[in-house]
Structure 1
Amino acid sequence: MSSDTLGFATAQIHAGQDRGAAHGTRVIPIHLASGFAFDDFDQARDRFSGDDVGFSYTRMGNPTASAVERKLATLEGGREALLVGSGQAALTVAMLGLLRAGDHFVSARHIYEGSRGLFRENFAGFGIQVDFVDDIDDPDAWHRLVRPETRVFFAESIANPRNQVLDVPAIAAVAHEAGVPLVVDNTFATPYLHRPLEWGADVVVHSTSKFLSGHGAALGGAVIDAGTFDFSTDPERWQQLDHARHGNRAYLTYIRNTIAGRLGPTIAPFNAFLLQQGIETLSLRVERHSSNASAVACWLEKQPEVASVDYAGLASSPSRAVAERLYPRGNGSVFAFTVHGGERAAAALIERLELFSHMSHLGDVRSLILHPATTSHARLSEVERQQLGVTPGMLRISIGIEDVADLIRDLRRGLDAAATVADCEPMRQPARRHAIARG
C-alpha cells in the first residue's frame, strides 16, 4: 500500500518500513555498525560515485536512520529527509546548504535564542549576514529586507517562546517572489498539527529530541525537503547544487554528502531507533498535549496573578485567525505566560511546583517550565529582551500529557507562592493581556 494513501496515524507506524530489511520483524532493527562491507569491487566504486544508493559508512547513512528518514518525509509531505545528531545540527546543515560567504538571509526575530545566536555570531564568522523581521505577520516587512545577495527566508511555524503563528502561505509567497526558498522550523507544531510544505514552504527542520521523540531520552534533528523549489532557474545563485545530475534531489544530496557528510553531525543508530519508537505514538501524544495546553491557557488567563498569556488558541491572541486557518487539530503545547511581581514572583512560582520539571527542554510527555530571562535569553541586553517580549515575569511552559486537573492544581500552588511575593512589591499598574507588542 502506498504511503500517500495512508492516514496520519497509520503512516506514523508503517510508513518507510521495509519488511525485508527488518528481517521478518515488525520493528526497525538497530544497525550498530560504523561501516558496511561491499559485495564486490564494482559496488564499492558505484557507491562512492553516487550511482549506488546503498550504505558504506554510517556517517553518510545507516539503515536504521534511513527508515526513519523515509517515515518523516512521508509525515511532512516531503520528498526526502536527512537525520542528524540534534535540532541545532539540522538547522545548521539546512542553512549551510543554501548559504555561502557573502550571502544574506532574512529570519523572523521571534525564534529559539540558540538559533538567533547561531545566525548572529557563528554565521557572521562565515561571512553570512542576517536581517531579522520584527513583525512576522507583515509580508512587506519581509520584502523590505530582501537584497540581491539574499538566499533564504527562515522562521518557526510556532515561535519560541511566545507562540506566535507564522502565516506560511503569505511568507512563502514573498520568498518565492524574491526567488529564494522558505525554511521553517516545525518543531513546536509537528506534522500532526501543521505541514508547512503543503502551505508553500520548501524545507522543514525539526529538533526530533522534542515532540517527535516525546520521551526526552535522545537527541536528534531532521531536515525534510519538499523537492519542489526549482534551483535550476538561477544556476549562478546556487552553484553548489548539481541540479543537472540530481534534479529535484540536488539540495538534499548536497547537504547529505557535502555538508553533513563532511561536518559529521551523525545521529547514532540507537537514537534513530528511539526516535522511531516515539513517532509511532505522535498523533496520540500531540492531541493530548494540545488539549491540555488549551485548558491550562484558558485557566491561566482568568487568574488574577497572571498579567498575560501568549497562546494562539485563545480568542485574545493576535495569532488566533492564522491558527484557525492553518491549525485545525490544535495549537501545540509550548507557550508563555507572565506573572505580576517580576522575577521574584516567577522564581517563587517555579520553586513551589511539584509536577512541572524545571529544565531547558520541551516537547516531553512531562510538563516543563523555564524562566527565559535568566536562562535561554540571559545573554541578551535588557533592550533585546524587551524587543522579544521576554520580561522578568515571563515563564515558558511545555504542557505534557498528565491529567490536566493535576497540572492546574500544581500551577495554583505556584501562583499562590507568586502572589505572596508580589504582595510584598510596590503596587504596579496591571498589564494588559498581550500588552507587549511584537518586536
Structure 2
Amino acid sequence: MSDHNSFDTVRIHGGYQPEEHQYASNVPIYLSAAFNMGSAQRGRAIAEGRESGYTYSRVANPTVAILERRIAQLEGAVAAVAVASGMAAISNAILTVAEGGGRIVAHHDIYGASLDEFISLAPKLGIEFDFVDDINDPQELRNAIGPDTKAVFVESVTNPLTKVTNVDQVAAIAHEAGVPLIVDNTFPTPYLFRPIEHGADIVVYSSTKAINGHGNVISGLVVDAGRFDWSSKRFPQFSEPEFTLYTEESGHARSFVEAYGNEAFHQRLRCKFLRLLGAVLGPQQAYLELLGLETISERLSKEVSSAQRIAEFLASHQYVDKVNYSGLPNSPQAELVKNLYPRGIGSILSFELSGSEDRVNRFIDATQVFSYIPNVGDVRSLIVNPARTTHREIPFEFWEKNGLSVNLIRLSIGLEDPDDLIADLEQAFNKAYQD
C-alpha cells in the first residue's frame, strides 16, 4: 500500500500486509504467549535488535503490532505503542519523559483520574506537576516552565468542559523552552484532529473510547512523532548506557539516543516501562480495536452532527443554566475551533442543570435511551454526573477550576437517531421537574 493514501484508506489497510499472514483478509489474532525463534543465532539477533521478529507477547505480538503501525500511519508518526488502558498510556508517557524525577506543566481541567495521578501519585515517584489555570495563556505557560520541567501535558479537548487547547501555540512555547509537548487526544481521535501536525511530540489515547467506539475494550496508545531531540542534558535517561542495547558489533552498551536517535522515546518506553511494568494490550483487544477503526469516520461524523444538535437544544432549554460544548457557534472558542477542528470537536458535551442535586438524580434516572455509564465514545449514548463518578477523585479545592459541580451532567452521544435522543432528554426534564 502507498505511503500517501488518505485517512479512510489507512484506517482499513494500514500496517497490514496480507501476504505475511497467509493472505487473510482480516487481521489474524495471534493467541500465543511466545514464538519459536527458529535457531539460537536468530534468537540472539532478535534479542539484540539486529533482526525483526517475535519472541514473547509481553514484548511484542503480531496482532498488536499491526494496530500500532496503523495508528502511527493515521497520526503521521514514526511509531505507536499499545498498552492495556488509557491510564497506562498516560502513566507510561509520564514515567518515560520524567524518569528519575522532574516537573511537568499541565492544566487543572482534565480527566479526573489523570488529575488524581498527577496530584497524589506522581509526586511520590519524584514527579511534581505545576498547574496553570489557562493553558492557552502564553505568559502563564512560559512562567510555569522551569529548568526542571520535563514536559507540558495537555488535553486537546478537555474532559468534561470541552475546552480546546491551542496546540500550535503551546507546542511553540514548549519547544522554545526545550521540552516536549504531550497531548491527550482521546476525545477528538486522529479523525477530527492530528496533534502531531500542530507540533505535538507525544500523543496519548484512551483508545477504549472513540477509537474503538463499541465499549468492549480497555486499551491505550502512546504515539511518538519522532521529532524531539532526546539527547538534551534535561533527559539523561536517554543518553546513559543501556546494557540491553549491548551488541558485539558495537562493543559497548549503547544509549537509546545512540541506538535510535529521535526515536529514543518510544523505544525506551517499550523496552523499560512496557516490558518491565507489563501493562500489555492483548491480541484479542487489539483485534477489536482494529475493527472499531474501520468505521471511525462514519461513526464520528454522525456522532458529532448529533452532538451539535443536542448541544443547541440544551442551550435554549429553560432548565439548563449552562452548556459546555466549544463547537457551539457562540462559544468563546468558536474561532479556534473553526481553525483547528473543521470536522467538529467530538461527541462529548456537558451541561449544568438548574436546581438541586435531587433534580440531577431524577433527571438521570428518568432517561431511557441514554445509559448511565462512566465511559465516552461508545456507539450508545451515555450519561453521567462527573462530580459523583468520573471526577470524584478531584479534591474540592479543584472543583471550581475544573468547572465541577453536583449539577454538572456529561453526555456522550452515540449513533441513535438524534430526534430520539432529544425526545429522551425532554421527557427526562419533564419528570425531573414534576413537583
Q: Quick check: TM above 0.5?
A: yes
Q: Deviations over 1:143-175 (max 9, x none)?
A: 111111100000111100000001000000111
In structure 2, C-alpha distance between the alignment counterparts of 1:52 and 1:150, rounded to whole Å = 36
Aligned length: 419
Does structure 1 residue 283 correspond to structure 2 residue 292?
Answer: no
Whether the 8 Å CA contact 1:13–1:279 is kept in 2: the answer is yes
In structure 1, C-alpha distance between the alignment counterparts of 2:234 and 2:194, rounded to whole Å = 30
Partner-residue secondary structure (3-state), 1:46: helix
TM-score under structure 2 normalisation? 0.94
Whether the 8 Å CA contact 1:111–1:160 is kept in 2: the answer is yes
2:91 aligned partner, one-letter code: T
In structure 2, C-alpha distance between the alignment counterparts of 1:22 and 1:320, rounded to whole Å = 47
In structure 2, C-alpha distance between the alignment counterparts of 1:117 and 1:28, rounded to whole Å = 37
TM-score under structure 1 normalisation? 0.93
Whether the 8 Å CA contact 2:108–2:401 is kept in 1: the answer is no
What's 1:371 paired with? 385
Whether the 8 Å CA contact 1:305–1:418 is kept in 2: the answer is no
Partner-residue secondary structure (3-state), 2:121: helix
In structure 1, C-alpha distance between the alignment counterparts of 2:184 and 2:415, rounded to whole Å = 23
What's 2:33 paired with? 34
In structure 2, C-alpha distance between the alignment counterparts of 1:403 and 1:365, rounded to whole Å = 11
In structure 1, C-alpha distance between the alignment counterparts of 2:397 and 2:83, rounded to whole Å = 35
2:237 aligned partner, one-letter code: Q
In structure 2, C-alpha distance between the alignment counterparts of 1:377 and 1:249, rounded to whole Å = 34
In structure 2, C-alpha distance between the alignment counterparts of 1:53 and 1:254, rounded to whole Å = 17
Whether the 8 Å CA contact 2:84–2:219 is kept in 1: the answer is yes
Does structure 1 residue 298 correspond to structure 2 residue 307?
Answer: no
What's 1:416 paired with? 430
What's 2:249 paired with? none
Following superposition, the deviation at residue 378 of structure 1 comes to 2.4
In structure 2, C-alpha distance between the alignment counterparts of 1:360 and 1:162, rounded to whole Å = 16
1:145 aligned partner, one-letter code: A
In structure 1, C-alpha distance between the alignment counterparts of 2:200 and 2:138, rounded to whole Å = 15
In structure 2, C-alpha distance between the alignment counterparts of 1:132 and 1:362, rounded to whole Å = 25
Whether the 8 Å CA contact 1:73–1:79 is kept in 2: the answer is yes
In structure 1, C-alpha distance between the alignment counterparts of 2:333 and 2:25, rounded to whole Å = 42
1:217-256 matched pairs, under 5 angstroms? 217-232=216-231, 234-235=232-233, 237-241=235-239, 242-256=256-270
C-alpha spacing 1:38/1:123, structure 2 compared with 1 (3 Å): same
In structure 1, C-alpha distance between the alignment counterparts of 2:330 and 2:134, rounded to whole Å = 18
What's 1:102 paired with? 101
1:133-172 matched pairs, under 5 angstroms? 133-172=132-171
Whether the 8 Å CA contact 1:97–1:259 is kept in 2: the answer is yes
Whether the 8 Å CA contact 1:98–1:238 is kept in 2: the answer is no
Whether the 8 Å CA contact 2:116–2:393 is kept in 1: the answer is no
Does structure 1 residue 52 correspond to structure 2 residue 51?
Answer: yes
In structure 1, C-alpha distance between the alignment counterparts of 2:408 and 2:234, rounded to whole Å = 46
Q: Which moved more, 1:69-78 or 1:94-103?
A: 94-103
Whether the 8 Å CA contact 2:107–2:132 is kept in 1: the answer is yes
Following superposition, the deviation at residue 294 of structure 1 comes to 0.3
Whether the 8 Å CA contact 2:64–2:286 is kept in 1: the answer is yes
Q: Is there any run of 5+ residues in structure 2 with no aligned partner, and where?
A: 240-255
Whether the 8 Å CA contact 1:377–1:385 is kept in 2: the answer is no
1:231 aligned partner, one-letter code: W
1:298 aligned partner, one-letter code: E
Following superposition, the deviation at residue 235 of structure 1 comes to 3.9
Q: Is there any run of 5+ residues in structure 1 with no aligned partner, and where?
A: 422-439
What's 1:72 paired with? 71
2:168 aligned partner, one-letter code: P
Q: Deviations over 1:302-329 (max 9, x none)?
A: 1111101010111232222211110011
Following superposition, the deviation at residue 22 of structure 1 comes to 2.4
CA RMSD of aligned residues (A): 1.2
Partner-residue secondary structure (3-state), 2:109: coil
2:102 aligned partner, one-letter code: D
1:273-352 matched pairs, under 5 angstroms? 273-352=287-366
Following superposition, the deviation at residue 236 of structure 1 comes to 5.2
What's 2:407 paired with? 393
In structure 2, C-alpha distance between the alignment counterparts of 1:366 and 1:379, rounded to whole Å = 26
In structure 2, C-alpha distance between the alignment counterparts of 1:149 and 1:380, rounded to whole Å = 26
Whether the 8 Å CA contact 2:105–2:151 is kept in 1: the answer is yes
Following superposition, the deviation at residue 139 of structure 1 comes to 1.7
Following superposition, the deviation at residue 368 of structure 1 comes to 0.3
1:237 aligned partner, one-letter code: F
In structure 2, C-alpha distance between the alignment counterparts of 1:179 and 1:53, rounded to whole Å = 33
In structure 2, C-alpha distance between the alignment counterparts of 1:291 and 1:167, rounded to whole Å = 23
In structure 1, C-alpha distance between the alignment counterparts of 2:62 and 2:356, rounded to whole Å = 50
Q: Which moved more, 1:70-79 or 1:409-418?
A: 409-418
Whether the 8 Å CA contact 1:341–1:418 is kept in 2: the answer is no
Following superposition, the deviation at residue 249 of structure 1 comes to 1.7
1:362 is matched with which residue: 363, 370, 376?
A: 376
Partner-residue secondary structure (3-state), 1:154: strand
2:219 aligned partner, one-letter code: G
Partner-residue secondary structure (3-state), 1:51: coil
In structure 2, C-alpha distance between the alignment counterparts of 1:313 and 1:225, rounded to whole Å = 28
1:266-277 matched pairs, under 5 angstroms? 266-277=280-291
What's 1:264 paired with? 278
2:355 aligned partner, one-letter code: G
1:90-129 matched pairs, under 5 angstroms? 90-129=89-128
Following superposition, the deviation at residue 101 of structure 1 comes to 3.3
Q: Deviations over 1:322-350 (max 9, x none)?
A: 11110011120111111101311111110
C-alpha spacing 1:14/1:392, structure 2 compared with 1 (3 Å): same
What's 1:425 paired with? none
1:196 aligned partner, one-letter code: P
Provide the identity percentage. Answer: 38
* Structure 1 residue ranges (4+ consecutive) displaced by more than 4 angstroms after TM superposition: none
C-alpha spacing 1:400/1:20, structure 2 compared with 1 (3 Å): same
Whether the 8 Å CA contact 1:345–1:417 is kept in 2: the answer is no
Whether the 8 Å CA contact 1:310–1:336 is kept in 2: the answer is yes
1:176 aligned partner, one-letter code: H
What's 2:173 paired with? 174
Does structure 1 residue 215 correspond to structure 2 residue 229?
Answer: no
Partner-residue secondary structure (3-state), 1:197: helix
Partner-residue secondary structure (3-state), 2:237: coil
Following superposition, the deviation at residue 116 of structure 1 comes to 0.8
In structure 2, C-alpha distance between the alignment counterparts of 1:363 and 1:417, rounded to whole Å = 27
In structure 1, C-alpha distance between the alignment counterparts of 2:316 and 2:236, rounded to whole Å = 52
1:363 aligned partner, one-letter code: G
